[in-house]
Amino acid sequence: MAKAFASQADTAEKSITFSRVSEHAYAFTAEGDPNTGVVVGDDAVLLVDAQATPAIARTVIEKIRTVTDLPIRYLVLSNYHALRTLGATGYEAQHVIASEGTREMIVERGAQDYKSELLRFPRLFKAADTIPGLTWPTITFRQQLTLWLSGGLQVDIMHVGRGHTRGDAVVWLPEERTLFSGDLVANGAAAYGGDGHFKDWRATLERLRELRPEALVPGRGDPLIGAEEVDRGISGTQQFLADLYMGVSASAESGETLKQAYDKTAATLEPRYGKWAIFDHTLPFNVSRAYDEAKGLDHPRLWTQERDQEIWAALET
């Protein structure tokens, strides 16, 4: 029996947790589904990632209203993917902030990604008809942007290197040593690298480690609290990426086909990572991108609904 495409068989609703990770920071998590970060200042709220639809955004807002009535003024997009961006209008934020690299990716492939992810993750696109279109940032930055929320809370929004995409942004509260990593870090979930840069990613994570966070909200999975847990989470993502890319690149360099690389990589990774959230979903897309990169293709190829299914059929049969 053929394996269901991507996450189409993932229909069970997840249990939502809304937890405080430091004085001003909270995490909205749901058992490996995409996370949203929340920073509560004295006069406004800043969010990190929007969820996939305005309908799901309303669930996030309900949790926020249990701790503050302040307006949601800022929304930071950690990357361009539809799951992170398309719920933006549900918050009515005054400012949508992203790196210049993320805006460039929305221009280049945002429409295709919307259709692709809608097919891959039907459960996460609850009430997709409420999405008015692509989400466009109103403020962009190249390397770093600092906001000062009233009361003097410093919020650094930074692009520290390529990884999950070429435009990844992280949000750093230096006084609280709290980091929102976006999809650069996953905790108990497989990192998605379909638009990734595997050769750069582990070094980018090392730059996050150099910040010495004491709390980290990953793109997926539970928050990591305490320096040791944070280090474990970063190291776990680094090791997953290393194991995946080294296996795929060895196959590519020896002249093996993409299918041969996939079968070998799946057999190698399954014992250690097979129970991680979205492992099965991500593997065909991760191996395909890693194979391209090992063959010298630096700029990721465009994912469309048609290419998604072609790759899945070629690798999962």
Rounded average pLDDT over 155-173:
98
The beta strand positions in 160-300, using DSSP E, are: 170-173, 178-186, 215-220, 224-225
Residue 114 vs residues 137, 184, 216: alpha-carbon distances, Å:
16, 20, 28
Q: What is the pLDDT of residue 150?
A: 82
- Fold topology of 17-315: Metallo-beta-lactamase; Chain A (3.60.15)
Give the whole-number percent of the chain exceeding pLDDT 90: 97
Residue 127 has pLDDT above 90, yes or no: yes
Rounded average pLDDT over 8-26:
96
Per-residue model confidence as pLDDT tens digits over 28-56: 999 999 999 999 999 999 999 999 999 99
Q: What is the pLDDT of residue 205?
A: 98
Rounded average pLDDT over 279-305:
98
Residue 1 has pLDDT above 50, yes or no: no
Rounded average pLDDT over 245-263:
98
Residue 232 has pLDDT above 70, yes or no: yes
Specify whether the CB–CB gap between 215 and 178 falls below 8 A: yes
Rounded average pLDDT over 241-258:
98
Residue 2 has pLDDT above 80, yes or no: no
Which strands make up the sheet holding 139-141, listed edge to edge?
Answer: 17-22, 25-29, 36-40, 45-48, 72-76, 95-99, 139-141
How would residue 126 be classed by pLDDT, with cut points 50, 70 and 90? confident
Per-residue model confidence as pLDDT tens digits over 63-105: 999 999 999 999 999 999 999 999 999 999 999 999 999 999 9
The beta strand positions in 49-87, using DSSP E, are: 72-76
Mean pLDDT of the chain: 97
Rounded average pLDDT over 187-194:
98
Q: What is the pLDDT of residue 151?
A: 79
Rounded average pLDDT over 126-139:
96
Please name which of 93, 103, 85 lies closest in space to residue 39, comparing C-alpha atoms.
Answer: 93
d(CA 246, CA 148): 42
Residue 149's φ and ψ, nearest 5 degrees, are -70, 150
